[in-house]
Amino acid sequence: MKSIKRTAGRPVKPVLSRELIGEQALELVTARGLEQLTMTNLAKRLKVAASALYNHVTNKADIVLLIQDALVSQVSLQGMQRLIAQQATLEEALRDWALSYRAVFAEYPSLIPTIAVTAVSESPKTLHMYNTVAQALASAGIPDALVIKVIVAFESFLFGSALDVDAPSTIFDTDDVTADSAWLDRVVKASRIQSDPAIDGMDVDARNQYADPPFQFGLTALISQTMSLMEA
């Protein structure tokens, strides 16, 4: 029996999707910078005509929303979901979310200024993350009126901590100790003695070997303060 060849027509799966556009846009801005995010450059990366993009997105601002989703979707929500299911403590959930959040954004530091001021309402995956975190915090006993304050406080800290991962480890070093730098030089040296990589087992290959101790210090303080807000 002769085989019947399928006639040419529309592909079984669409060549483009908003998710695919977001993923490729994220890779583009990571490799070349946000200023290189244009319809033309993105179309070349996707190997399609620029006009094809307009079937899925309206403009560059729309693509930024997709980048936000592609980035935020990498943040772990396992701890928060387990908290909702009463299978984890508030401390465990906050620590899991914060550690993942910082790790993800540390890989894309150039995007932090943009993501920090981008609305969430048109980014479904981003909206899902915030909704899950809000539900988890509220279910753990954090008053509704304080939940957003907690989220913003954590994000403010996490964005800065993500940037610090890639900061020079010598950022507080002084060339010459003078009256204007003597106290700074003193506390920097004391901090490094306390956080010696050889002593603490810190990653000597890390971009900033001294970024983790202050992050852990701040995270513990934030978690402690958040837990104090729990209603009986």
- How many angstroms separate the CA atoms of 65 and 126, rounded? 9
Domain membership flag for residue 143: yes
Domain membership flag for residue 10: no
pLDDT over threshold 70, residue 86: yes
Domain membership flag for residue 5: no
Q: In the listed set 10, 44, 72, which residue is the last one of a domain according to the structure?
A: 72
Domain membership flag for residue 9: no
pLDDT confidence of residue 196: 57
Let me know whether 22 and 52 are in one domain. Answer: yes
Let me know whether 217 and 195 are in one domain. Answer: no
Let me know whether 87 and 186 are in one domain. Answer: no
Contact in structure between 47 and 9 (CB atoms under 8 Å): no
Q: Which residue has the higher pLDDT, 86 or 210?
A: 86
Let me know whether 151 and 230 are in one domain. Answer: yes
Q: How many domains does the chain have?
A: 3
pLDDT over threshold 80, residue 106: yes
Largest CA distance in the chain: 94
Mean per-residue pLDDT over the chain, rounded: 87
* CA trace torsion 66, 68, 73, 78 (10° rounding): -150
Let me know whether 114 and 180 are in one domain. Answer: no
Q: Over range 195-216, report the average pLDDT.
A: 65
- How many angstroms separate the CA atoms of 75 and 162, rounded? 13
Share of the chain above pLDDT 90, in %: 63
Domain membership flag for residue 218: yes
Q: Confidence class of residue 133 from pLDDT cuts 50, 70 and 90?
A: very high
pLDDT over threshold 60, residue 27: yes
Let me know whether 152 and 90 are in one domain. Answer: yes
Let me know whether 58 and 93 are in one domain. Answer: no
CATH code at 118? Answer: 1.10.357.10
69: three-class secondary structure by DSSP: helix
Let me know whether 127 and 223 are in one domain. Answer: yes
Q: Which residue has the higher pLDDT, 160 or 1?
A: 160
Let me know whether 206 and 216 are in one domain. Answer: no
CATH code at 52? Answer: 1.10.10.60
Q: Confidence class of residue 168 from pLDDT cuts 50, 70 and 90?
A: confident
- How many angstroms separate the CA atoms of 139 and 90, rounded? 10
Token pair listed for 164? 């610090």
Structural domain containing residue 46: 18-72
Let me know whether 63 and 144 are in one domain. Answer: no
Per-residue pLDDT of 42-85, as tens digits, reads: 999 999 999 999 999 999 899 999 999 999 999 999 999 999 99
Let me know whether 154 and 222 are in one domain. Answer: yes
Per-residue pLDDT of 182-205, as tens digits, reads: 888 888 888 776 665 544 544 545
Model-wide pTM > 0.85: no
